[in-house]
Amino acid sequence: MSFTAADRLARAQTQLLAANDLDINKLQNGLADLWGRGADYGDLYFEMTTRDTWSLERGKVARAAFGISQGIGARTVTGENTAFAYSSDISSKAIDAVTAAARAMQSHGRDVAETGRGVEIKALSQDSQAYSTLEAAGGIDTIQKVALLRRLDDLARAVDPRITEVNAQLAVEDATILVCATDGTLAGDIRPQVRVNISVVAEGNTRRASGSAGDGGRFTLGEFNDGRLEKMVRKATSIALTNLEAIPSPAGEMTVVLGNGFPGVLLHEAIGHGLEGDFHRKRESVFNGMMGQRIAAPGVNVFDDATVPDARGSLNIDDEGVVGQRTMLIEDGRLVGLMQDKTSARIMKDRMTGNGRRQSYADLPMTRMTNTFLERGPYAPEEIIASVKNGIYAVEFSGGTVDITSGQFNFSAEKAFLIEDGKVTAPIEGATLIGVGNGALKHISMIGNDLELGIGFCGKAGQTVPVCVGQPTIRIDNIVVGGAGA
Amino acid sequence: MSIGSLSRPVEGAPREGVDGYLLQSEADLAKAVTYAVERSTALGAGGAIARVNEGGGISITVANGEVENAVRDGNQSLQITVFLDGRTGMASTESLSRNAIDRVVEQAISMARQLEPDEEAGLADRDTLAWDGPSVPLFAPSGHNAMELTDAAMAIEAAVKATATADAVRVSEAGAASQDARFALATSQGFCRTGSSSMQHRWCQTIAQRGDEMKQGHWASSVRRIEELESAEQVGHLAAKRALDMLGAEGLTTRRVPVLIDSTVASSLVRDMCGQLSGGAQFQRMTFLPDAMGQVLTTAHLSVTEDPFEPFGLASAAFDSEGVAGTRRDIIRDGVVKGLFLDTRMGRKLGRASTGNAGGMRNLALISSLTAPTDDLHAMLRKMGTGLWLTRFMGGGSNPATGVYSRAAAGFWVENGQVTQAIQGFTVAGNLQEMFKAIVAVGADTYRDGAIRVGSILLPDMQIAGR
């Protein structure tokens, strides 16, 4: 089953416009009002999102929640000045109110006489097929949702008697968005999103340890077959059980092998945020002015790719109506591209890359990542581990942060081991890896052939959006590992 | 329904209006929650609790002498929780129309029917509700319009420019915002109370530059009443200074050293401490101190107090999100755990009464019996002698189940009580179980970070990892 951009727009128009007695004419008039005061750009964003979550705690699914979030956001941009207002009502009156409020907020002193410019919007001609379903639940009813969570509980408890607590959550989200803009944009998207996560506690003789794992994307709940659930359970329980035995991580500079998948948070923090266009427009990024320069070892290729089929961070269109795309950021170790939203691209005279995203209608779009990953290389993961005399092997991470201005980044291991004489040995706890974005990737010395994506939440300026990070197994020489061990 | 809050004139708005940026009265909101609760019981819920929030305000950011973002906020949402024999269905909507409320209530009830019972779930007991306790003053609308807030943000940028040194410093964002909020809470026991609050924010993000080297600095002031705000000069000056002082930062080699955690970032340790005592951590045993009541958590000179009723406190509330009033109390006294943070359900699961902490912890303060009024920052640096003055945490964190603690940080190297060098690119690590018992001193340089008041914290010995 596949849906074209026209199908999605038609559906968005039905749900967001027709259902609220609105039509294209009303949108064009609203945009003309926004634009009329001499703004460079204006847009109207419509959203309706429904979300249900089901929670399992101590073997019982006793709580569930349902929510609807809907509204309109109106924005005008003049130079670097943005004015913004929003409403949780979708109606003709609400469009008048938000456009008036946005205009009232527009920069003072720039009160250009109304020009009465007309606006004509029309559907995007480009198509995209980043996700194949229109509805996240995909025919799975509530009884099956409860059964899925119970199955996770059974699977986790069967792993080991030391697993004493299991919590799990399932979230199903369907968002319909429509965006129109004074540059003629008219686009809609139907965005499914499912997520299942599990957290467990293991109790040994003298201590407790926890572990968690999550999976999901823009597909239907039906994709969560036993194989998929088992993989998630193995991951969560092995983190907890491994950490029952862990010794404090050594501290100092050492060689590190990072596992595939979510450890790609390294790319997200070390370089991803630093290559977001808005940070370049404002000269805040440590990578400012480094286009074309070597910022990583030869053989390192990094992409931000909104077109990965059904991935959590994928987008048919971004929240400014630009088609989602695959953007090469680093080619053979050299910086070749930035991610851009409309405003930053316009001011920097750069290409739009479909990275304008917002948390909801009530938030302003910014340059954001989608699915960001390091492309595969030639080595088998075992080969990479065997090449290290002494170091650490970090397999699972909880997350990381970066100061994009100084480039200082860090990310925290949840499951890691010592490597001694090319062999994985004792588990270690509390390993935080740190480095500087424009330096760390120069120390990548081996890239594996086992690329995998992991799911995450990315926070920036108070807004959270769903993303994927990813990489194959890699070896990095000389990275600082912080832990409590000597 | 919310559009009215946006159609209110925002430029040159009259100042006499006591309602600030809000459209709806407390009575309007009470009507919406009462309807949601009545609808729930009519459809078969054994009990129901509904809360509605309305927020409104203006937020302005400036850079390079120009307004960057000017945002008019106006939002509202209603949450309803229904109980059917211990089955808990929750729903929320941002539209307060009867249709929208009907839809989410029906959804909450139909979902609840598919669930399993949890005996401890349900409304708070009638006699624990704050039927007529005093309200806490939190509402102090500034009525500031976009122009006034723009002037305030511009003044912060001017203060940054005035902080001239040989190195360049610029504003990446200076901001001023004023927000008002209002809520109503009702339960099917007939409880219905309302409240209003205000927040004023000023903030500044700076970048100091020396050649290719760039460093960020940040300072913010967030209070309820306009007269409590730090001046634009102070916000701008401190934001500039914090960036400038980090220029030329060097690494730190791997070693064990004493650490003074600056009061502006020390609240995270109090949060780690109190996190051990939350109902969730205790019930799920996601803690290194299960069955915490009466046990020793910290060194004997430390206590933590909670005050829900502080007038214009940042985490004050007359009652919690279930309608239960908290109390002024000791959480930790002389190192021993005296209180947990419980809502009704977690209280029942642990065989205890709710402590009025549904929705979070209230105003907390870390107090040491050893602190002298003269223990300002300089005195604390002298007390440490030689070691790390930690002024910024970056990522990393702690594991509540094991106490394993490992964070990336930055700060200054101190020799004999004197700052000698900015330092960065290292981690500090230890274990919370030992750290809490090892705290040597807490400064009198108290800083309020949201719900938490704390002075700088001196730890005798932490593992540093660096180059």
User: Which of A78-87, B231-240, B361-370 has the lowest average pLDDT?
Assistant: A78-87
Three-class secondary structure assignment of chain B: CCHHHHHCCCCCCCCCCCCCCCCCCHHHHHHHHHHHHHHHHHCCCCEEEEEEEEEEEEEEEEECCEEEEEEEEEEEEEEEEEEECCEEEEEEECCCCHHHHHHHHHHHHHHHHCCCCCCCCCCCCHHHECCCCCCCCCCCCCCCCHHHHHHHHHHHHHHHHHCCCCCEEEEEEEEEEEEEEEEEEEECCCCEEEEEEEEEEEEEEEEEEECCEEEEEEEEEEECCHHHCCCHHHHHHHHHHHHHCCCCCECCCCEEEEEEECCCCCHHHHHHHHHCCEHHHHHCCCCCCCCCCCCECCCCCEEEEEECCCCCCCCCCCCCCCCECCCCEEEEECCEECCCECCHHHHHHCCCCCCCCCCCCCEEEEEECCCCCCCCHHHHHHHHCCEEEEEEEEEEEECCCCCEEEEEEEEEEEECCEEEEEEEEEEEEEEHHHHHHHCCEECCCCEEECCEEECCEEEEEEEEECC
Confidence of residue A262 (pLDDT cuts 50, 70, 90): very high
Q: What is the mean pLDDT of chain A?
A: 92
Contacts of A19 (CB under 8 A, 6+ apart): none
Whether the per-residue pLDDT at A117 is higher than 70: the answer is: no
Closest Cβ opposite residue B401 in set A82, A83, A209: A209
Domains of chain B: residue spans and CATH: 3-244 (3.30.2290.10), 249-467 (no CATH)
Across the interface, do B103 and A71 touch by the CB < 8 Å criterion? no
Across the interface, do A364 and B71 touch by the CB < 8 Å criterion? yes
CA distance B374 to chain A (A): 33
- What percent of chain B lies above the pLDDT cut of 70? 96
Alpha carbons A413 and A420: distance in angstroms, whole number = 18
Confidence of residue A207 (pLDDT cuts 50, 70, 90): confident
| Partners of residue A362 in chain B, C-beta under 8 Å | 73, 75
Across the interface, do A430 and B3 touch by the CB < 8 Å criterion? no
Across the interface, do A52 and B111 touch by the CB < 8 Å criterion? yes
- What percent of chain A lies above the pLDDT cut of 70? 97
Select from B82, B84, B83, A190 the least CA-distant residue to B92: B82
Task: Choose from B2, B58, B87, B94 for mutation: most chain A CBs within 10 A.
Answer: B94
pLDDT in tens, A123-160: 877 778 889 888 887 778 888 999 999 999 999 999 99
- What percent of chain B lies above the pLDDT cut of 90? 89
Structure confidence at residue B395 (pLDDT): 83
| Partners of residue A481 in chain B, C-beta under 8 Å | 465
Q: Provide φ and ψ at A67, rounded to 5°.
A: -145, 150
Hey, CA dihedral for B90, B92, B96, B101, is it positive or negative? negative
| Partners of residue B92 in chain A, C-beta under 8 Å | 65-68
Domains of chain A: residue spans and CATH: 5-244 (3.30.2290.10), 247-482 (no CATH)
Torsion-angle region of A332 (φ positive above 0: left; ψ -120 to 50: alpha; else: beta): left
Structure confidence at residue B6 (pLDDT): 30
- B420 touches A at CB < 8 Å: no
CA distance B63 to chain A (A): 9
Structure confidence at residue B4 (pLDDT): 27
Across the interface, do B207 and A84 touch by the CB < 8 Å criterion? no
In the 8-state DSSP scheme, what is residue A379? B
| Partners of residue B207 in chain A, C-beta under 8 Å | 283-284, 405
Confidence of residue A103 (pLDDT cuts 50, 70, 90): confident
With a CB-CB cutoff of 8 Å, which residues 125-144 of chain B face chain A?
Answer: none
Record the tokens describing residue A8, joined without a space: 């999605």
- The nearest alpha carbon in chain B to A142 belongs to B114
CA distance B90 to chain A (A): 4
Region B61-80 average pLDDT: 93
Whether the per-residue pLDDT at B284 is higher than 90: the answer is: no
pLDDT in tens, A210-241: 999 999 999 999 999 999 999 999 999 999 99
CA distance A237 to chain B (A): 15
Record the tokens describing residue B245, joined without a space: 């002082």
CA distance B133 to chain A (A): 31
| Partners of residue B213 in chain A, C-beta under 8 Å | 406
- The nearest alpha carbon in chain B to A486 belongs to B463
Closest Cβ opposite residue A201 in set B95, B286, B410: B286
With a CB-CB cutoff of 8 Å, which residues 10-29 of chain B face chain A?
Answer: 10-11
Structure confidence at residue A79 (pLDDT): 87
- Letter for the amino acid at B326? G
Structure confidence at residue B306 (pLDDT): 98
Closest Cβ opposite residue B395 in set A401, A429, A431: A401
Confidence of residue A107 (pLDDT cuts 50, 70, 90): low
pLDDT in tens, A299-316: 999 999 999 999 999 999
Region B253-267 average pLDDT: 97
- How many contacts (CB atoms, under 8 Å) link A and B? 292
- B429 touches A at CB < 8 Å: yes
pLDDT in tens, A333-372: 999 999 999 999 999 999 999 999 999 999 999 999 999 9
Closest Cβ opposite residue A88 in set B94, B286, B428: B94
pLDDT in tens, B201-218: 999 999 999 998 999 999
With a CB-CB cutoff of 8 Å, which residues 382-401 of chain B face chain A?
Answer: 394-397, 399-401
- B70 touches A at CB < 8 Å: yes
Alpha carbons A4 and A443: distance in angstroms, whole number = 43
Closest Cβ opposite residue A68 in set B1, B100, B466: B100
Confidence of residue A104 (pLDDT cuts 50, 70, 90): confident
Q: What is the mean pLDDT of chain B?
A: 93
Across the interface, do A66 and B408 touch by the CB < 8 Å criterion? no
Structure confidence at residue A134 (pLDDT): 82
Record the tokens describing residue A296, joined without a space: 């990583």
Alpha carbons A30 and A34: distance in angstroms, whole number = 6
| Partners of residue B117 in chain A, C-beta under 8 Å | 60, 62
Alpha carbons A35 and A376: distance in angstroms, whole number = 46
How many CB atoms are closer than 10 A to CB B295? 12
Structure confidence at residue A437 (pLDDT): 80
- B288 touches A at CB < 8 Å: yes
SS3 state at A289: coil
3-state helix, strand, coil in chain A (%, to 5): 25, 40, 35
Half-sphere exposure of A42 (CA within 13 A, CB side): 32
Contact present, A155 and A192 (Cβ < 8 Å): no
SS3 state at A107: coil
Q: Tokens 């073997």 — which residue?
A: A59
| Partners of residue B172 in chain A, C-beta under 8 Å | 282, 284
How many Å separate Cα A60 from the centre of its chain?
30
Record the tokens describing residue A320, joined without a space: 């400014």
Q: Residue A382 is inside which H or E element, if any?
A: helix A381-386
Across the interface, do A101 and B91 touch by the CB < 8 Å criterion? no
Q: How far is CA B189 from CA B31, B89, B358, in A?
A: 15, 18, 18
Whether the per-residue pLDDT at A37 is higher than 70: the answer is: no
Whether the per-residue pLDDT at A429 is higher than 50: the answer is: yes
- Letter for the amino acid at A58? R
Record the tokens describing residue B88, joined without a space: 């808990």
| Partners of residue A71 in chain B, C-beta under 8 Å | 94
SS3 state at A221: helix
Across the interface, do B429 and A400 touch by the CB < 8 Å criterion? no
CA distance B155 to chain A (A): 16
Alpha carbons B134 and B132: distance in angstroms, whole number = 6
Confidence of residue B220 (pLDDT cuts 50, 70, 90): very high
Confidence of residue B9 (pLDDT cuts 50, 70, 90): very low
Q: Tokens 């909670």 — which residue?
A: B306
Record the tokens describing residue A482, joined without a space: 């912080």
Across the interface, do A484 and B214 touch by the CB < 8 Å criterion? no
Confidence of residue A36 (pLDDT cuts 50, 70, 90): confident
Any long-range contacts for B219-226 (C-beta under 8 Å, 24+ apart)? Answer: B222/B314, B222/B450, B223/B199, B223/B312, B223/B314, B224/B138, B224/B140, B224/B197, B224/B198, B224/B199, B224/B200, B224/B312, B224/B313, B224/B314, B225/B140, B225/B198, B225/B200, B225/B312, B226/B140, B226/B142, B226/B144, B226/B178, B226/B200
CA distance A307 to chain B (A): 30
CA distance B415 to chain A (A): 23
Record the tokens describing residue A350, joined without a space: 């750069």
SS3 state at A75: strand
- B463 touches A at CB < 8 Å: yes
Contact present, A332 and A392 (Cβ < 8 Å): no
pLDDT in tens, A282-298: 999 989 999 999 999 99
User: Exposed e or buried b for every residue in B422-436, given b needs 16+ CB within 10 A?
Assistant: bbbbbbbbbbbbebb
